[in-house]
C-alpha cells in the first residue's frame, strides 16, 4: 500500500516539476509584466534613486533605505542558498554539490 502511494506521488512530482512548471512560471511572469505595464522596468530608475538617496531627516537609531535593502537581500540570498543546497542534495545526491 505504501509503495503504491509512493509511486503515485513520484509520478505527480515528476509531472509537476518538469516542463509544466517552467511554462507556468514564464507565463505568470509575462502576464504580470503586461498587467502591471512593465513596472519592474519603468520604475527601476526611481527605485535606484530612492535606494542611494541620502536621508536628511534621519534620527538617531533609524535604519537607512540602503541598510534595509542590504539586510533584506542578505536574508533572501542566505535562505536561497540553504534551500538550493538541500534541493541539490535531494535531486542529485552528494555529487551534485561538486
Q: What is the pLDDT along the chain (98 residues), one digit of tens a residue?
A: 899 999 999 998 888 888 888 999 999 999 999 999 999 999 999 988 887 776 666 667 778 777 888 888 888 887 778 887 888 888 888 777 66
* One-letter-per-residue 3-state SS of the chain: CHHHHHHHHHHHHHHHCCHHHHHHHHHHHHHHHHHCCCHHHHCHHHHHHHHHCCCCCCCCCCCCHHHHHHHHHHHHHHHHHHHHHHHHHHHHCHHHHC
pTM for the full predicted model:
0.51
Amino acid at each position: 500500500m505504501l509503495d503504491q502511494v509512493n509511486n503515485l506521488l513520484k509520478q505527480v512530482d515528476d509531472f509537476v516539476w518538469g516542463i509544466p512548471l517552467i511554462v507556468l512560471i514564464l507565463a505568470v511572469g509575462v502576464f504580470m509584466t503586461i498587467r502591471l505595464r512593465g513596472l519592474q522596468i519603468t520604475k527601476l530608475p526611481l527605485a535606484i534613486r530612492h535606494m542611494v538617496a541620502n536621508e536628511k531627516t534621519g534620527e538617531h537609531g533609524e535604519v537607512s533605505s540602503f541598510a534595509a535593502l542590504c539586510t533584506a537581500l542578505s536574508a533572501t540570498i542566505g535562505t536561497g542558498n540553504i534551500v538550493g543546497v538541500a534541493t541539490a542534495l535531494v535531486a542529485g545526491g552528494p555529487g551534485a554539490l561538486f
